[in-house]
A and B are shown apart, each in its own frame.
Chain A
Amino acid sequence: MFMKSRMFQVIATVVLIASLAAPALAKEKAKGKANGGEFDFKKTSQFIREMEGRPDFPVATVIANDYVYTLLAMGEKIDAGRQNAIIVNVKLGQQKNGGFTPDKTNKNASILYTDIALETLSLLDAGNAIDRTKVKSFAASLKNADGGFGFSQQAKKSSLATTYYAVHVLKAVNGIDAVEKAKTVEYVKAFAKKDGGFGPEKGTGVANARSTYMAAYVLNALGALDEATAKKAVQFLEKTPYLDKKSKERPDLDEQLYAIRALREVGAGNRVDKTIALNFMKRLYIKVNGGFGPLEGYGSTPDSTTTALRILSEIGKAKGAVPLVAKR
């Protein structure tokens, strides 16, 4: 009787401990395989943090963005001192006209670096550290008669990409009212291609995922993305190597990211092929240093590593970092 009772007590205790420990163990296991175990984020972190050793850290607008996004996407914290250094550096890049420059030694502000600077500040929850009204007036000043926006006050010609960046910036600073909706929609729609996607140039030429995402974003932001356009965009994306396993086209890191974003933008996020994306990231991963290359067989750079982390975040293989404005 005693023996039975004693055994029962032991078994019950073991079961109780096991049941209490199970969720914690499962969580721990999941944490260890946060990215499925394919990538050593510790090494990736070391790779990105190499730039901390530079006396001029964070060096430049793009590099600061790489550093902030990548570390946050891997679930790491950025210490207060470095956060402050980055915020100060980004602020120094804002010019009198409200736009931002590629680095503090350059005085030519453009919409591209303004967009990147805004995302960096937003990721650090420091969006109010700069004069947002001036940002709006800078972006608005780039508006052209054709409905598009230019790159800078020196390079005024409109393009799909610069129009996208301008709308993106204006949305981030609550300035979308500065856009002449009908003209901009017409301007962007002129970049549509026969295959359903959008290309970087009007007229001949082929569509790509980047331009398709940019066009879809602008149309969405202006409330002008119709069902037919969205459907055609998906039809185009289905033929890219990011959805079509049989595609013979060489995949490209940036295009992979924009293919995912384009699908989400046109309301087809469920069509994202996470397996294709993950396998591609595995092929770009450089085990030696934990970085990612821009193309298969290429060495890793901070820029390409950041883009890879954006993709891994999109497919749930990294924590991700959500800016307080729309994603870049």
Chain B
Amino acid sequence: MKLKKLVPALALTAAALTAVAAPALAGRTTTPSSYKVVAWNDLGMHCACPTFAGFLLLPPFNTVRAQVLGYGSNDPVIIDSTNAGTYGVSVSYAMADNTEATLQADPYFQQWITYAPKLFPGFAPVSGGKVQGLAGNGISGNMTYDSTLKDWTAVGIPAYPLVDANSSKNVMTDPLGGANRNPYPMTNVYVKNASGTILAQTSTVTPVAFGGCCSCHLSLAAANGYPATASGSFAYLGKMHGMNSSKIDFNYLDPTGDGTSGPIRCSWCHWDPAMGETAAPGLANVWPNYVIMAGAGFTKADIKVSQYSFSDVLHRFHSQSTKVLTQYDANVATNCYDCHPGNNVNCYRGSHKAKTALWCVDCHGNLNQRTAAGQLAQPWKASTLPSCTAASAGANPAFACHATNIVGGTVYPTNPSLFGKFINGRGHKGSIKCQTCHGSAHAEAPSTMTLDNTQLSNLQGSTSYSFPAGKDKTYALGVCVFCHPTKTSTWGVPPHL
């Protein structure tokens, strides 16, 4: 009985191996016989605000990255901008759930369309009837090759949480009391030839959610005599800001000189690398004719570029404010979901979460530790981010990080530059991005969320692939034959260097 089952299986495997191995055995071809593409979101989660009338924390801005492999020879060809031209292929993306119609009809996104030109002078959120993100990318288009980071990218696409027709996807609670939304829209990535024929395609989650800010700030506004609304919250925040050493109550700032206050962008004064900035531009450089409205307790001399990054002032204030600690959360230094998307979104959802009681602070440090270590003065820098082998400076992790140079029992030469930071790190002969195989940061494979695992399940879903006990197709890309036609179809841990 067993033999009867085994024979067809062996025959199938042999046929499959022959089929996939043939091109390689024939020698390295000039043009790949086929292509494979793996895509991911750069951070595993982006925040975007539900309102934009008062001030901007974070805009719709999501980045999808992909690596494309030309398949056929034993060593696949990594497709970059040069050989893509040679082979006549292009890489493109199309958001699957966010559409022109739904985005432009969404009342929250409409606020973005209304106020974005004031927040980013010169930027048109809708051009030629089509929505575009801050970097000029719309809901579909070509990806460009990033020769520094060695991947194809679509920077700043306007992904936004949506009220999905499939209500089971609407897991995110709207802190403003609106309908629940889907914070995990998908984006398709294609490799096409010159005539537009799809040669390879995949889908990745493009996560974007509202944060938890409104959950506390609406009641904070009410407690201080302001309406428990987004605008009331902005108004009270402005007043609070005016009570700090800057004296600037931003309710009295009229950037455009049109006689109305706001909206303002925090990163005009507070340097914010999350916005792609290396320095704060300063209000006067963005809106030279800005006006300070009557009744303000400050003058133009007080409008300065802050020495503190936006990340610094935001995190430090919340962890040190006695009002926050005594009236809202005594444990705010470790309760990251107070502000980051935990409103049933649970942005930290990767394999780390599944395996242990490891929490954000084990890798990043709690807010007190981050402040003490000066992390927040240089946010988003490689020097302050955790890696696979070490937590951020100042963190006091309860769990051991991954060994520096031992993978699957094999000892490799120590070379931190090769096994360095995860998000833009590369390994496997220095050519494959960590996230190509492991998935997005915060959603590392296998993720606790099924949708994150869809791509790897498809890529490693061939029935000819086999997995050792305890592993399956949702694990990090590890079936050698997926990329190398003559190698094993059994999942394993590939060389990381």
A and B are interacting partners: yes
For B399, the closest partner residue in chain A by CB is A55
Please report which residues of chain B, range 341-363, place their CB below 8 angstroms from some CB of chain A when the two chains form the complex: 342-344, 346, 356-357
Across-interface contacts of B320 in A (CB, < 8 A): 155
Q: From known contacts A112-B325, A298-B342, infer whether A60 and B331 are also in contact, taking CB-CB under 8 Å.
A: yes
**Complex interface bits, A19-59 against B, C-beta within 8 A gives 1, otherwise 0:** 00000000000000000000000000000001101111001
Among B180, B333, B357, B396, contact of A51 (Cβ-Cβ < 8 Å):
B357
Whether, in the assembled complex, B330 has its beta carbon less than 8 Å from a beta carbon of chain A, the answer is: yes
The size of the chain B interface, using a CB distance under 8 A, is 35
**Complex interface bits, B183-218 against A, C-beta within 8 A gives 1, otherwise 0:** 000000000000000000000000000001001000
Q: From known contacts A55-B399, A116-B330, A161-B327, infer whether A204 and B177 are also in contact, taking CB-CB under 8 Å.
A: no
Q: In the complex, are the beta carbons of B342 and A151 less than 8 A apart?
A: no
Q: In the complex, are the beta carbons of A297 and B180 less than 8 A apart?
A: yes
Q: From known contacts A297-B343, A297-B344, infer whether A159 and B335 are also in contact, taking CB-CB under 8 Å.
A: no
Among B173, B219, B342, B398, contact of A208 (Cβ-Cβ < 8 Å):
B219
A62 to chain B, nearest CB (A): 4
Q: In the complex, are the beta carbons of A155 and B322 less than 8 A apart?
A: yes
Give A102 to B344 CA distance when docked, in angstroms: 27
Among A205, A298, A303, contact of B224 (Cβ-Cβ < 8 Å):
A205
B369 to chain A, nearest CB (A): 7
Whether, in the assembled complex, B337 has its beta carbon less than 8 Å from a beta carbon of chain A, the answer is: yes
Whether, in the assembled complex, B101 has its beta carbon less than 8 Å from a beta carbon of chain A, the answer is: no
Jot down 28 A-B pairs with beta carbons below 8 A, ordered by A.
A51-B357, A53-B356, A54-B398, A55-B399, A60-B334, A62-B331, A63-B334, A102-B331, A105-B368, A116-B330, A155-B320, A159-B322, A161-B322, A162-B322, A162-B326, A200-B223, A203-B225, A204-B224, A205-B222, A205-B223, A206-B223, A206-B225, A297-B180, A298-B342, A298-B343, A298-B344, A299-B337, A303-B329
Q: Output the residue of A51, A296, A297 with the most chain B CB within 10 A.
A: A297
Across-interface contacts of A51 in B (CB, < 8 A): 357
Please report which residues of chain B, range 302-349, place their CB below 8 angstroms from some CB of chain A when the two chains form the complex: 320, 322-323, 325-327, 329-331, 333-335, 337, 342-344, 346
Q: In the complex, are the beta carbons of A62 and B330 less than 8 A apart?
A: yes
Q: From known contacts A54-B357, A199-B223, A298-B343, infer whether A102 and B322 are also in contact, taking CB-CB under 8 Å.
A: no
Give A282 to B224 CA distance when docked, in angstroms: 31
Q: In the complex, are the beta carbons of B333 and A102 less than 8 A apart?
A: yes
Q: From known contacts A298-B173, A303-B335, infer whether A200 and B325 are also in contact, taking CB-CB under 8 Å.
A: no
Across-interface contacts of B346 in A (CB, < 8 A): 299
Across-interface contacts of B342 in A (CB, < 8 A): 298-299, 301
Q: From known contacts A51-B357, A116-B330, A252-B219, infer whether A301 and B325 are also in contact, taking CB-CB under 8 Å.
A: no
B352 to chain A, nearest CB (A): 13
Beyond contacts A63-B331, A152-B322: 11 other A-B pairs, Cβ-Cβ < 8 A, are A56-B396, A63-B334, A110-B325, A116-B330, A159-B323, A161-B326, A205-B223, A297-B344, A301-B342, A303-B329, A303-B331
Give A198 to B63 CA distance when docked, in angstroms: 47
Across-interface contacts of B326 in A (CB, < 8 A): 112, 151, 159, 161-162, 165
Give A298 to B335 CA distance when docked, in angstroms: 13
Whether, in the assembled complex, A130 has its beta carbon less than 8 Å from a beta carbon of chain B, the answer is: no
Q: In the complex, are the beta carbons of B399 and A201 less than 8 A apart?
A: no
Whether, in the assembled complex, A138 has its beta carbon less than 8 Å from a beta carbon of chain B, the answer is: no
Whether, in the assembled complex, A113 has its beta carbon less than 8 Å from a beta carbon of chain B, the answer is: yes
For B212, the closest partner residue in chain A by CB is A298
Across-interface contacts of A203 in B (CB, < 8 A): 225
Across-interface contacts of A211 in B (CB, < 8 A): 223
Q: In the complex, are the beta carbons of B224 and A201 less than 8 A apart?
A: yes
Please report which residues of chain A, range 77-117, place their CB below 8 angstroms from some CB of chain B when the two chains form the complex: 102-103, 105-106, 110, 112-113, 116
Across-interface contacts of B399 in A (CB, < 8 A): 54-55
Give A72 to B212 CA distance when docked, in angstroms: 30
Whether, in the assembled complex, A250 has its beta carbon less than 8 Å from a beta carbon of chain B, the answer is: yes
Give A81 to B223 CA distance when docked, in angstroms: 44
Q: From known contacts A200-B223, A205-B225, infer whether A295 and B331 are also in contact, taking CB-CB under 8 Å.
A: no
Q: In the complex, are the beta carbons of A157 and B322 less than 8 A apart?
A: yes
**Complex interface bits, B18-48 against A, C-beta within 8 A gives 1, otherwise 0:** 0000000000000000000000000000000
Across-interface contacts of B368 in A (CB, < 8 A): 102-103, 105-106
